Amino acid sequence: MIKTPVRASTKQDDFYITSFLQAQLDTLSSEQQCWLQPGVTGLRVLLQGNISQPPASIRNFALDTRNISSSGNTFSINFITDEFSVNGVSESTFITLGLVHLISMTLAFFLVYPIILLLASATVLCHLIGRPIEKKVVDKWQMILQLCVFAPLVAGGMVTGILARGTADHFTSEHSIVGLVTVSLTIVDVILYFFLRRMSRGLSTYDSIPRNVKYVHYADVALCQLILMISSFVLPDGIDDFAVMSLCDTAVLSDSWVFSLGMMLVFVWNGAMAAMTVQWFLVRRSRKTDAQETVPLCAVDSSRSISPPAEKASGP
C-alpha cells in the first residue's frame, strides 16, 4: 500500500489516490485476490477507508472517473455511479459477452467435443466385444454434433471473446494464446476426421487399411487427447481473467459451488479420456491375438462384415 507522509496539495492527493488504485488493480491482476465487496463499490469502500486514515488524511476528494491501466487492460472507473468500462467496453456489455464466451467454450470443449469422442470410442469398443453398432448411425450423429452444435459454439465463443477484449491487444494473454492454440488444433482434428472418414469408407478389415492411414489414425487419437488436456488449462485461466477484468463482479460463487460445478463439467471430459485410453490399450492387445479380427483406433465400416478367423479343425 502506497503512503505519503503529509498531504501537501490537491495534486498530491490526486497522485496518492491514483497510485492507490493502481496498486490495487496490479495486485488483483497478479494475484487474482478480490477485495471484500465485489465491483467498483468494494474498490470505493477500500479507497475511502484508506485515504481517510493517517498519513493520507484526505477528507475531501472528488468522486470522479479514474483511468487506470493494468496488465494490458485499461479501466475507466466511475466512482459516482459505481460503474466501469474496460478497454472501451461498458461493464454490462463486457459481462454479457464474457458469460456467453465462457458458457459457449465450456459446453463446446467439456460436453459436446467429449461426446463426439465417446461416440467414436464406442464404435471401436463395441466391435471388440463382439457387439458392433451401425457405424453409419454414429457417423450421422457425429456429423450433426460437429457441424450443428460444436462449430457454432466455438465460433460464437471466439467472436464474443474477441469483442469482450475491446480496444486491447488480442491474443496477448496466456488464456487467449492457449485458447487460440486449442481452437487451431481442433480445426486440424476436424480436417483429419473428414479425411479418415473418406479413406476408411468401404474397408472391412484392419489389414485392408493402408499403412499411412493407420498412422493418421494414431496421430488423430493423440491429437484428440492433447486437445482435451489443453482445454483443461484454458478454462481456469479464463475464469481468472474474467474475474480480474470485471473487477471481481463475477466472483460471486463460493469455492464449494465452483468445485461442484467443475466436477459436473469434467464428468464427460474424464469419460472421453478414459474411453480413448481403454480403446488404445484394447486395440493393441487385440492385434496381438488376431490381426484379422481387430479394427483400427477409428473403426472401419461396421456395416460390412469382418472376415472371421479360420476355425481350428477339431480332431475326431
Rounded CA-CA distance 187/63 in Å is 49
How many residues does this entry show for the chain? 316
Please compute the mean of the pLDDT values over residues 160-173 and round it to a whole number: 93
- Give CA angle at 148 (181, 109), nearest 5°: 35
> To 10 degrees, the CA torsion angle through 88, 90, 93, 97?
40
Summarised one tens digit per residue, pLDDT across range 93-147 is 999 999 999 999 999 999 999 999 999 888 888 877 878 788 788 889 999 999 9
Average per-residue pLDDT for the chain? 82
Instruction: Using the Cα atoms of residue 240, residue 241, residue 244 and residue 247 in order, give the sign of their dihedral.
Output: negative
For domain 92-293, give its CATH number from 1.20.120.1770, 3.40.718.10, 1.10.1200.10, 1.10.8.10.
Answer: 1.20.120.1770
**Tens digits of residue pLDDT in 220-279:** 888 998 999 999 899 889 988 998 999 988 876 666 777 777 788 788 888 998 888 888
Res 160 pLDDT > 90: yes
Q: Which residue has the higher pLDDT, 189 or 57?
A: 189
Contacts 24+ apart (CB under 8 A), 2-10: 3/55, 3/56, 4/55, 4/56, 5/55, 6/55, 7/55, 7/56, 7/57, 7/58
| Confidence check: pLDDT of 197 > 60 | yes
CA 73 vs CA 41, 67, 182, 279: distances in Å? 19, 11, 23, 45
pTM: 0.83
Residue in the block written with cell 479394427: 295
Looking at the chain, which residues constitute the CATH 1.20.120.1770 domain(s)? Answer: 92-293
Q: What is the pLDDT of residues 42-74, one digit of tens each?
A: 998 888 888 777 665 676 666 788 999 998 999
Instruction: Say if residue 284's pLDDT is above 60.
Output: yes
